[in-house]
Each structure stands twice: as C-alpha cells, then as structure tokens.
Amino acid sequence: MPRFDSPRLLADIGGTYARFALETGPGEFTQMASLRCADHADFHAAVRAYLESLNWPEGAQQIAHAAVAIANPVEGDRVRMTNYHWQFSIDEMRQRLGFDTLVVVNDFTALAMALPRLAEVDVRQVGGGQARRPSVIGLLGAGTGLGVSGLIPAGEGWIALGTEGGHVNFGPRDEREMDILKFAWQTLDHVSYERLISGPGLELIHRALAARHGVDAPTLQAPAITQRALDEGDALCLETLEVFCGLLGTAAANLAVTLGSLGGIYIGGGIVPRLGEYFDRSPFRARFEDKGRFRDYVSAIPTFVITAENATFKGASAILENQLRNLQASPGSAILGQIRRARSELSPAELRVADLVLAQPRSVLNDPIAEIARAAGVSQPTVIRFCRSLGCEGLSDFKLRLASGLTGTVPVTHTQVNTNDSMLELGAKVLGNTASAILQVRSHLNRDTIDRAIDLLLSAHRIEFFALGHYSVVAQDAQFKFLRFGMPCGAYTDPRLQLLAADVLREGDVAVVISSGGRLPELLSVVEKAQERGAKVVAITASQSPLAKKADVTLIVDHIEDIATHLPMVSRILHLLVIDILAVGVAMRRSPDSIAALGDGPDEEVAKSGRSGAAPGVSTASPLARLTSHSR
C-alpha cells in the first residue's frame, strides 16, 4: 500500500474528548491518543500537546496536511463550538501549526463520508431490511449531543449533508414521554431530540423518571446510568435506557422518511456502540418500524450500529484526500483559479498582491485594506487596482467572491462529448455543459457593475454595439432588443465600419464592445477611439483581458472554448444572456410602456391574442414571455 509523502494529522473533537491519530498511508492510522478537552486551554493547546507527545522516528517528515472533525457546524473561517468553549480561526490555526492544509468539517459529515468505506466487520445490523444500492443513507448518533447527517449518491461518489437535525423539536408518543417533556420544560424553553438522545439527555431522562415515580434517586452521570442498568440491573436505570433507545428509534425513522434513506440508517456516536447486545433487544427497532401508514416503507430499511473505532478518522481522511486532489486538479476556488490564470497579465505590484492572496486567502478575507497592502508591500490603490483587474468593483466585492470560494459552492463541471455518444447522451452533455457554464458566470456577476452598465445605457444619447466574427450575432441581437425600446442604436460587425462609427461617437454615447477573449486589436482600437471622443465603454468579455482593463464598465464572462478547433457555442450563449440581463434591466427601469416594447411590433396582435408561443404557464403579456418569444 503506498505511503504518503508526510504523515497526515487527523482529529475528532467532541465536547469532552479530543482524539488524534496520524495517517501514514491510506487507512493506516498510528499513534492514536485521546485527550480530555478540559485539560487544555484551547484547540491549539490540545493539538500542540498531542504533537509534543509523538514518538517521531529519526528523520521523519513533518506534518503538512491535517483534517479536523469537530462537533459543531462549520461555516466560514471562524469555528465556535456549541458544546464547549473552544473557538478559533481555521487559517490562523493553520499558520500557527505550520500546516500547508487544514480542513475542518462537522464531525458527522466526516462520519457520513466514512460509511461507504466501512467493511461488514465494522457494522452490526439491528433488525431486518435490505439496503438498496446506490441510494440515500442516513446517519445519526448520540454522544455529547445528537449528530445527524446523510449521504446522497452522486455519480461515482457521495455528497455528505451537513445538518443540525438533532435540534428538531421533540414530540412525545405516550404519557410517559409527555411527563418527561413536562419535566424538561421546567428548565428548558425549547426541548429538542438532542436534549434527550445524548449523554446529558440520559441524565435528564433519569431525573424525569425519578420524579414521575416519586423516587428519591441519586443524581447520576450518563456512564453510571449505563453501568448500573447493564451490570446491576437497576430498575430506574434500565427504564432510562429503554426510553432512550425508543426515542432514538423514532428519531431514526423520522430521518429515514425525511431523506428517503433506502440505503439504510447508521447509528454512531459514543453511547449506542457501548450498549452492546442490549441495544439489539431494546425498543429501538420496534419504534423505528412503528410509523403508521409507512410501517412497510421503514420496515424495508435496514439499521446498523457502527462498531469501527476509527470510522470518523476514515471519513476525515477521505475528505482531506478529496480536498488535496481537487487542489492538484483545479487549485483553489473560482477566484483563486482566475488569479492563477491571470498572473502573466499583472503588473509587478499587482503580482505581489496576487501572491499574498494565493498564499493566505483567509487572512486576506479578514484583514482591512491597510493590512493587506502592508503584507504585500504595495500601496492601498494597488490593492484596489488588483481587485478591479479581476472584474470586481473593489475590495469588498472581491472579498465576497473569495469568501464564496473558500466556504464551498456547488461544483461546476464540464463533460467531454465523445464520438461514440448516443444522440441522447450528446444532447444531455451539451445541455449540461451549457447549464454548468451559466452557473459559473452567475457566480461572477456583480450587482454594482450591472447597475452601472444599465445606468449608462439608460442615459445614453445613442448606443452602438461592436463585435466580430462568431459574436456578431450577439451585437445584432442587442440592436434588435434596444431598437424595440425606441432607443437609438446600431450594430457594427465589420472592422472598417467599426472605426468609422467610433469616430462619430460623442460625449453621452455608449459603446458596448462584445468579445470572448478581449484581445482583438480591431476592437481595442474601437475602445480607444470611443473614449477619445468622450463616449463611455461597456465591455462584455473575459476577466484580465486588455479589453476588460480599458473599459469603463466590464461585465465578466469567463468560459474557455478553443475556437481553432470548433465554433464557439456555450460562450456565445453566455454573451447573449448578458445582453438579455441588460435588456430586462433597462426595461424594468423604464415606464410600463417601455417594458411592453419587448413584445410590441409586427406580431403585437398575435401576442395579445395569446398565440405568441410563450412557454406554458408564462403569461403572454409578461416581459419574460415577450423576451423569450422574440429571442427565438
């Protein structure tokens, strides 16, 4: 089995214990240790204590990559534990510990990602049912809290759900559970399932049952309740476990019908695996199947107890491996990838800002402009110029795009069309690639930039659209739409006419220049001539292109197509969509009569009679119906 270049640190952080391990190769865990959180001031102190305790072999490679599964929702850079007082910045912690990579995920997200990697010996089935493959899998487990997650099959992999499903409202099923709820209400405003199906929940149930029976029982912690029930046969403790397992069965059934978990429900956490055979004969499975009209549905779903000790480590390792693979294949977020591609176009000063962002993206996300400029060794205006060179309005807009990339977005994929594809496969791929490209452009849209472009168009004395080659149809489409508004405009697609048209522009006019690459000298000459005459220039083009840098307002459309080998298809559609955005924006800012101009004209009577060909369910009187009708 291949070994890693350097050992990887894995951690499983709960409200009581912090577990650590080194992974030296796929699935090879060594030097495992469990530290009490209460013995360490913060997360950094716990990690340092573990690292200092390691028995390093002579000449061992230091840790470069680490993954932390933590009992807490993880959103953005700042992590604040719900069931403990630790909090930290992910990027700051990465730097303090000297790691190249630090991935922090919810502990149940990590456990969910481990499920497809568990062997038969790592789980124990409780009750009947047969898993369907591939299908959605549900996961929940009790420890300091109640974790809830799930896995959705996606192609050859899985998507893990990061949820806080343990905090849904608890619903009692009988008088005993109603009495427990009333007891909990004495001290809690909101009683969730986590308040009862957890270590603290065992203790609450025990106290509630003692009060219900009028018994003066000692206050016991969860481990003592379990030990007295299983080893000593204590009646109150046994009833506590009975209630606990029944509630867990109901929660598991709720999760199964919510997710449609035909692939099975898995039970993890620190409590259930320790109950051993008692759990198998507990009310858990009976309550799981007690779902009224859906009894047959849930009865066919199997339930499993996770018995593997290192399951969370396996899931954290899988997430880390996937992260490293993505960084190698397509480094960073969309904006980080854009910066890497643009390095050759940047000035030396802008390049220093780029290097800082690529090396410390989370620090840049949190730092003020003065600190960013100081760290990069440039002036504050240089930082702003760098942001604008990427199609951003300024530093705030740049940070929004950077944050979106760092916190995770829906992946945008492109599927290669092959010669042996069927017509159905070909159609699905072309549509899928177009949809993916549209989603990517949507992530680059900037509200302020669109607003500025629309303002310029609305106030223009005249609008001229310029494009060449395959993008000429985009300029002609734009001319058609804006003429319907009664706005003076023209479309120029011949290089000789373009310069003549630009030479008669004047102050108050707007030139809209449409170019996929933004490097054609003919169009760059048009921009220079238009600005020389006092006109404003709106560019629809790629980021980092010469055209993007010259224009007064730039609408970014980044999509790579090799026009040397095939006609531009997706990129032309993207440019047409940007024209549609501008047209609809102008229509919305004008009077109702001008909005109606999207549909008025030679086919006015057809539109009014409802035979315009609008999509089913779309009113033929709406701007959307008219726009889509005339776009065809």
Structure tokens at 412: 């945008």
Amino acid at 59: G
Phi, psi of 216 (to 5 degrees): -90, 75
- 513 and 540 in contact (C-beta within 8 Å)? yes
Dihedral, 24, 30, 31, 37 alpha carbons, nearest 10: 90
Structure tokens at 446: 């900037």
Q: Across residues 278-299, what is the average pLDDT?
A: 95
From residue 465, give the alpha-carbon distance in Å to each of 409, 498, 515, 549. Answer: 34, 9, 11, 18
- The b-or-e profile of 248-279 (16+ CB within 10 A means b, else e) is bbbbbbbbbeebebbbbbbbbbbbbbebeebb
Specify the residue for token string 């951003």: 392
Q: Across residues 94-105, what is the average pLDDT?
A: 87
pLDDT in tens, 12-54: 998 889 999 999 988 889 999 999 999 999 999 999 999 999 8
| DSSP 3-state of 19 | strand
| DSSP 3-state of 97 | helix
Q: E strands within 270-313?
A: 303-306
- Which one, of 555, 541, 539, 537, lies nearest residue 450 by Cα? 555
Q: Over 242-266, what HEC string results? A: HHHHHHHHHHHHHHHHHHCCCCCEE
| 134: confidence class by pLDDT, cuts 50, 70, 90 | confident
Q: Across residues 260-278, what is the average pLDDT?
A: 92
Q: Could you tell me how far CA 281 lies from the centroid of its own chain?
A: 41
Residue 525 has pLDDT above 80, yes or no: yes
Distance CA 426, CA 293 (A): 43
pLDDT in tens, 543-582: 878 998 899 999 988 775 544 444 566 778 889 989 999 9
Ordered structural domains, the chain, with CATH: 8-107 (3.30.420.40), 120-307 (3.40.367.20), 331-407 (1.10.10.10), 425-597 (3.40.50.10490), 601-632 (no CATH)
pLDDT, position 247: 97
Q: Across residues 216-244, what is the average pLDDT?
A: 94
**Stronger pLDDT, 425 or 220, i.e. the higher one:** 220
**Stronger pLDDT, 129 or 624, i.e. the higher one:** 129
From residue 50, give the alpha-carbon distance in Å to each of 19, 61, 323. Answer: 9, 17, 24
pLDDT in tens, 588-608: 888 655 555 455 443 343 333
| 285: confidence class by pLDDT, cuts 50, 70, 90 | very high
- The b-or-e profile of 398-407 (16+ CB within 10 A means b, else e) is bbebbbebbe
Q: Across residues 384-405, what is the average pLDDT?
A: 79
- For residue 264, is it left (φ>0), alpha (ψ between -120 and 50) or beta? left
pLDDT, position 314: 93
Peptide bond into 134 cis (omega under 30): yes
- What average pLDDT does the structure give for the chain? 83
Phi, psi of 586 (to 5 degrees): -65, -45
- Which one, of 133, 183, 188, 123, lies nearest residue 156 by Cα? 133
| DSSP 3-state of 470 | helix
pLDDT, position 321: 86
Q: How many CA atoms lie within 13 Å of 621's alpha carbon, on the beta-carbon side?
A: 4
pLDDT, position 164: 82
List the single range of 158-162, 215-219, 229-233, 267-271 with lowest mean pLDDT: 158-162
Q: Across residues 185-190, what is the average pLDDT?
A: 94
Residue 328 has pLDDT above 60, yes or no: no
In 10 A of CB 502, how many CB atoms? Answer: 26
From residue 427, give the alpha-carbon distance in Å to each of 386, 399, 416, 430, 578. Answer: 40, 37, 12, 5, 24
- 378 and 347 in contact (C-beta within 8 Å)? no
List the single range of 277-281, 319-323, 553-557, 628-632 with lowest mean pLDDT: 628-632
Residue 617 has pLDDT above 70, yes or no: no
Q: Could you tell me how far CA 480 lies from the centroid of its own chain?
A: 39
pLDDT, position 615: 35
Structure tokens at 506: 């004047």
Amino acid at 168: V
DSSP single-letter state for residue 192: B
- Which one, of 272, 229, 231, lies nearest residue 248 by Cα? 272
| 58: confidence class by pLDDT, cuts 50, 70, 90 | low
Phi, psi of 126 (to 5 degrees): -120, 115
- 89 and 362 in contact (C-beta within 8 Å)? yes
- 305 and 273 in contact (C-beta within 8 Å)? yes
| Residues that constitute the known binding site | 11-16
Phi, psi of 314 (to 5 degrees): -65, -40
pLDDT, position 327: 59
Q: Across residues 193-197, what is the average pLDDT?
A: 95
First-to-last alpha carbon distance for the chain, in angstroms, is: 58
Q: How many CA atoms lie within 13 Å of 312's alpha carbon, on the beta-carbon side?
A: 31
Distance CA 534, CA 537 (A): 10
| 123: confidence class by pLDDT, cuts 50, 70, 90 | very high
Strands 87-89 and 78-80: antiparallel
pLDDT, position 66: 93
pLDDT, position 589: 84
- 137 and 118 in contact (C-beta within 8 Å)? no
| DSSP 3-state of 495 | helix
Distance CA 314, CA 69 (A): 11
Contacts (Cβ under 8 Å, ≥6 apart) of 285: 126, 127, 249, 303
Q: Across residues 321-328, what is the average pLDDT?
A: 71
pLDDT in tens, 148-179: 988 998 877 788 887 888 999 999 999 999 99
Residue 332 has pLDDT above 50, yes or no: no
| Residues that constitute the known binding site for ATP | 11-16
DSSP single-letter state for residue 341: H
From residue 433, give the alpha-carbon distance in Å to each of 94, 476, 556, 577, 578. Answer: 36, 25, 18, 15, 18
pLDDT, position 186: 95
Q: Across residues 394-414, what is the average pLDDT?
A: 59
pLDDT, position 323: 78
pLDDT, position 421: 56
Q: What percent of the chain has pLDDT over 70?
A: 82
- Which one, of 467, 461, 614, 603, lies nearest residue 539 by Cα? 467
Residue 412 has pLDDT above 80, yes or no: no
Structure tokens at 216: 């003066």
pLDDT, position 610: 37
**Stronger pLDDT, 608 or 356, i.e. the higher one:** 356
Dihedral, 200, 205, 211, 216 alpha carbons, nearest 10: -60
pLDDT, position 236: 96
Distance CA 334, CA 411 (A): 10
Residue 509 has pLDDT above 90, yes or no: yes
